[in-house]
Copies of this chain bind each other. A is one copy, B any other.
Amino acid sequence: MCTATNYTAKDHYFGRNLDLEFSYHEAVTITPRNFPFPFRKAADLTTHYAMVGMTTVADGYPLYYDATNEKGLSMAGLNFPENADYKAEVAGMDNISPFEFIPWILGQFETVAQVREALEKLVLVDISFSAELPLSPLHWIISDREESLTVESVKDGLKVYDNPVGLLTNNPTFDIQLFNLNNYASVSTAQPENRFSKKLQLDTYSRGLGAVGLPGDLSSMSRFVKAVFTAENSLSGESESEAVSQFFHILGSVEQQRGCVEVGDRYEITIYSSCCNTDTGIYYYRTYENSQLTAVDLHKVDLDGDSLSTYPLVTGQQVREQN
């Protein structure tokens, strides 16, 4: 399904894996400040923060999967089937459809603190983009350099969780995902001391034995544990090359290989992985078949414009020939 994460070296980075069994013509899209964002049940945003991220563009509208705005605020929607429950419109509230949620947040806010306040009046309403594009069941991670939130609209209403790990996968609800980490306290990057028996001699026959017990399957609970462990223990130099590489290694720890996750007669794979430097606005991505990073720079377009800049993904291995 999906995994989103944060990583901070000198700069701060935000990105995600999109795991699906099909592709929707993804493209990186920059929305400049004066692109008019209409909202079905809220006032339009005629001017707003510029943003860059992954989209499907439908009828000229950028349906963002994940994005970062010019202030570094970032957001991604991840699959949340059976749990997501969108509501009817409520008078006096901000009634936003899930497909509008990313532009509405990134268009207006700079920090998670501001978002937390705004969410108090939010209703995620059950309005599709179009008959052909029904709503996906989603939940969201919203991050700045300092902190992250998780937003889930469930039967009980809108839940806003502080997200101390800055990481999100899919089901179950976020409180259960966080709780589950308590079962992995003994898992460590260091070699284990023998706590099994005071009498018996044990052999640390391999490096990495301290993390035995870490799950390696690709279900959403297991990816959450594995990716949090990798992210929490990640280290890199401060250069852009080192930090961005480390970011993609975190996402790589839970990527989905073709053949390993059956969905009917198809297979889910990691369609793309992204990493946005939220300080510089450079959005990097790679695809399942193209491991080279491709970059789109938010600041290379006129951010005061009013039309989208859209970059279809570079797919297929881009091999550098050395002889």
Contact = CB atoms under 8 A, between A and B. Distances in A.
Interface string A200-239: 1111111111111111111111110110111011111000
Interface string A255-276: 1111111110001100000000
A219 B208 contact: yes
Contacts of A294: 319-322
A257 B234 contact: yes
A116 B232 CA distance: 45
Nearest to A284: B319
Report the copy number of this chain in the oligomer. 4
B241 A317 contact: yes
B284 A259 contact: no
A231 to B, nearest CB: 9
B216 A226 contact: yes
Contact of A317 (B245, B258, B314): B245
A294 to B, nearest CB: 5
A47 to B, nearest CB: 23
Interface stretch (A66-74, A128-136, A139-147, A164-172): A164-172
B263 A207 contact: yes
B318 A295 contact: no
A314 to B, nearest CB: 7
A196 interface: yes
A283 to B, nearest CB: 9
Given A205-B182, A217-B213, A200 B164 contact: yes
A214 B215 contact: yes
A192 B199 contact: no
A293 interface: yes
A249 interface: yes
A89 B217 CA distance: 46
B207 A219 contact: yes
A248 interface: yes
Contacts of A263: 207
A260 B208 CA distance: 8
A291 interface: yes
Nearest to A197: B232
Contact of A206 (B164, B189, B211, B219): B219
Contacts of A297: 321, 323
A193 interface: yes
B262 A189 contact: yes
A316 interface: yes
A311 interface: yes
A225 B232 CA distance: 24
Q: Which 5 interchain pairs have the tightest Cβ spacing?
A: A216-B216, A211-B217, A188-B195, A208-B218, A292-B292
15 contacts: A82-B203, A179-B203, A185-B204, A186-B192, A189-B259, A189-B261, A191-B262, A208-B217, A211-B261, A235-B259, A244-B317, A291-B292, A294-B320, A295-B320, A297-B323
